Structure 1
Amino acid sequence: MTGLIATVLPDEDTPAPALIVNDGFFPEIDPAVFRKQHRIRDAVTPDRAREALIAAMLAVYRDLAAWALSHRAGGTRKLDDVRRSDGSISTIDGINTLVLLYQRAVFTAAKAEVVERYRDVDLTSAGQRKAEDLEPSITELRRDSIHAIRDMLGVTRTTVELI
């Protein structure tokens, strides 16, 4: 006896979400890549995912504005062209590592917002316990975003002061 295996094919009539155009220096952000890499479920609408990505882009930009301005002042037109102090461009899989770090900073900040916002629905007590289990996840996502930004800036991830 043979079983039936159902395959769900992507709807060809559904267009891929539009890229979020950035300021020219920082790269565009692809919501489809965000959804795939961070396993964003269909319960999160495309508009909501886009809103979270834009909020994350704004937050990351705020942290990198002075750094980006100094590179622009030095004649660098886009993040993909930023070179290390020895004049080389560091790449992984053919992509400038700064672009990868920027994308990580934005994606993890956006994922933290999505997880946080989707907790605020009316929950049963079992659902509330599950939401409380997500708390470290939100903190870890925000930490990962900050680490990516600090890596871009070339500063240490930890600040220690003597009291």
Structure 2
Amino acid sequence: MSSFVAAGNASATPAEPIPNATFYPDIDPAAFRDAHRIDGTVTPQRIADVLLTAIAATNRVLREWQARQVEAGYPVIDAVPAPDWQPAGIYPALYQRAVFAEAHAQLLERYRDYDATAATRDRGDLHEDTAGTYRRDARWAVSQICGRPNVTVELI
């Protein structure tokens, strides 16, 4: 009788949620891994690092919107009423999308430098485009929260 033992860097205990500013929800690393299909080769420490910096970046971009909401009497993002044409809970969902997309973009940018062979350089170029796509998703989620249109501009 043989037994299979899977090796990897996945932690046996689930990572604790990353504390956030009072207005925003804490971010669950397990939810990020699940939503973005991040496997155990990415260490829990790396996940925590990219999520923390993604939270900081997203909160910075949303600081004026947050201030207006708090001034209007909404102490947390869950309390901000959605427009009648949007589903309930859209703001926390868009916020999580922005944080997760920013974190995933950071992961892709950092993992492209493991091997310098031509094949991996080509895959790295693909990851760069994908990282840009995730970063765009983060910006669009922020734009939707703020009620601004999504704009993509490319220099010719």
Residue 64 (structure 2) aligns with: 66
Deviation, 1:117, is 0.4
Aligned-pair CA distance for 1:85: 5.3
Match of 2:113 in 1: 120
Distance 2:94 2:57 in 1: 14
SS of the residue 2:62 aligns to: helix
2:47 is equivalent to residue 49 of structure 1 = yes
What TM-score, normalized by structure 1, do the two folds share?
A: 0.83
- What residue is the counterpart of 2:91 in the other structure? 98
Which range is displaced more, 18-27 or 105-114? 18-27
- The letter of the residue matching 1:153 is C
Confirm whether residue 141 of structure 1 aligns to residue 139 of structure 2.
no
SS at match of 1:49: helix
Question: Distance between the aligned counterparts of 1:32 and 1:134, measured in 2?
Answer: 22
Letter of the 1:108 counterpart: A
Q: Is the 8 A contact 2:82 2:90 kept in 1?
A: no
| SS of equivalent residue, structure 2 residue 51 | helix
| Gapped regions of structure 2 (runs ≥ 5) | none
Query: What 5-or-longer segments of structure 1 have no aligned partner?
Result: none
Q: Residue by residue, what CA displacement relative to the aligned partner does 1:34-92 show, whole Å, maximum 9, x if unpaired?
A: 01110112121000011000100000001100110111112111100101356x9832x
1:156 aligns with 2:154: no
Are the equivalent residues in 2 in contact too, given 1:104–1:145 (CA < 8 A)? yes
1:131 alignment partner, one of 124, 127, 130: 124
What residue number does 1:34 align with?
32
- Aligned partners of 1:7 and 1:47: how far apart in 2? 23
Is contact 1:82-1:89 (8 Å) kept?
Answer: no
C-alpha displacement of 1:14 = 1.9
The correspondence for 2:75, drawn from 74, 77, 97, is: 77
Contact 2:108/2:128, CA 8 A, preserved across alignment? no
- Percent identity, aligned pairs only? 35
- Give the Cα–Cα distance (whole angstroms) in 2 for the partners of residues 151 and 48 of structure 1: 28
How many residue pairs get aligned? The number is: 148
Q: State the Cα distance separating 1:15 from its structure 2 match.
A: 1.5
- The structure number with the bigger radius of gyration is 1
The CA deviation at 1:136 is 1.3
Distance 1:89 1:126 in 2: 44
- Between the aligned partners of 2:106 and 2:83, the Cα distance in structure 1 is 35
